[in-house]
Chain A
Amino acid sequence: MEVAYFFPSCVWLEKLNFDLEKLKQDLDLFAEKGRLIERSNMAGLQYDNYLNADLSDAILRTFPRVEGKIVKNPFVYMWVNRNPKGARNSRHTHITYTRNLLLSGVYYVKVPKDSGRIRFYDPRNISIMNPPDNEYYNDSNTYNFVQPVKDMILFFPSWFEHDVEENKSNDERISIGFNIFSEVEEIKMGNAYNVE
């Protein structure tokens, strides 16, 4: 039977093949001078506005494109998350008051075992009442996990609520959150699904 997925909530997963040793060295330098911020971090450290042209370029080369659509002047805004043992990130989105936020994501630099998965919450509000279809077809799941590994990059919509489990390892977990801003050339209102 053909299945039509309407309004899917996508997380794109890819390997970036970035030079992690060089990046770690740069992040250690950044931790000495970077501006600490308080956003989703719970007992962890977040450093704002990380600038790394090589990483920005790699992200812009990799992010998912739609064939035939041009993304005008994309740029990447990055911040660094350093979660020691016991730290986690509370449930949040990446929504900003700048409306030209095309896509969000996270790149994993260091992920010790048991340092915390990322969890995405079902954005369909009605599903939280667990109607029978959700129980039957989805086992009543209201969230899904991704187990990150080093060099993994995730892309997801800015509105997709997510959090990070507590780091239960004795080692630090390091990731780089980012938003990709752009001017999308053309926005079509609605899409038709054609059943063959």
Chain B
Amino acid sequence: MNSTFEIQPIFSSFLIQTKLDLDTKSIKNWIEESYHTNYKIPLTFDEDILKDFYLSLKEILDNLHLALGFSKNTKQQFQEAWVNVESRERISVPHTHPSADLICVYYPYVEQGSGNLEFINPNSSVEYVFPQTRDNTIIDTHNLFNSKLWQVVPENDLLVVFPSWLHHYVRQGNPNTTRMSIALNSKTVRI
């Protein structure tokens, strides 16, 4: 009798987390010096200080594009990007970026406790089989198959990439902490 088996994850979402090894101090200083009042700052893809960021991101998105099985007659193209600077009260409503295909978030500077990035499982039916609240759950170990939420703890120099269909938001953190992030939307286009 054989009772061993392998669980195959099917219909998966995905998440990439990687450090870019960039000069985050210079980027932080540039953001601080360039902008004083705005909390959402549009980017134009030709900022000299972000040249290495754009190059690294392009390489990662090219590799991800192939890993996701897209045709070689297509490629990822930067669509829009912006800097978020939040140091006061944060209103974080779950949202998606419907005009994009892939979403990238890079953290040049975050202070501890400024709030985790949280994703909501797009398969809402999971909750019926694995219902859970913070103090009332029937789950012992959270994993890929039973989780309604998935959290990323932001760190300096961390890049996060995920599909645009994932609802995401910043979990409420300490409102007195500073959090700088660069968001970038990427779209699949034909070559």
Contact = CB atoms under 8 A, between A and B. Distances in A.
A82 B128 CA distance: 27
Interface of A: 37-40, 42-43, 88, 90-93, 95-97, 119, 121, 123, 125, 128-130, 140, 142-143, 159, 161, 163, 166
B169 to A, nearest CB: 8
Given A96-B131, A129-B98, A130-B98, A166 B91 contact: yes
Contacts of A119: 93
B187 to A, nearest CB: 13
B82 interface: no
A102 B137 CA distance: 20
A92 B95 CA distance: 14
Contacts of B133: 38-40, 92
B91, B96, B98, B120 — most chain A CB neighbours (10 Å): B98
B75 interface: no
Interface in B149-191: 164-165, 167, 169, 171-172
B131 A97 contact: yes
B52 interface: no
Nearest to A39: B133
Contacts of B138: 97
B98 A161 contact: no
B72 interface: no
Nearest to B137: A97
B122 interface: yes
Given A43-B172, A95-B128, A129 B165 contact: yes
B165 A42 contact: no
B99 interface: yes
A95 B127 contact: yes
Please name the 3 residue pairs, one residue from A and one from B, whose CB atoms are nearest each other, closest first: A130-B98, A38-B134, A97-B131
Interface residues of B, number: 25
Contact of A93 (B94, B99, B127): B127
A91 B120 contact: yes
B91 A128 contact: no
A85 to B, nearest CB: 12
B135 A125 contact: no
7 contacts: A93-B127, A95-B127, A96-B131, A97-B131, A130-B99, A159-B128, A166-B89
Interface in B106-148: 120, 122, 124, 127-128, 131, 133-136, 138
Contacts of B136: 37, 39, 96
A76 B91 CA distance: 33
Contact of B135 (A38, A43, A93, A142): A38
B172 A129 contact: no
Contacts of B131: 95-97
Contacts of B99: 130
Contacts of A38: 133-135
A96 B133 CA distance: 9
Contacts of B172: 42-43, 88, 90
A128 B169 CA distance: 14
Given A37-B135, A39-B133, A121 B127 contact: no
Nearest to B99: A130
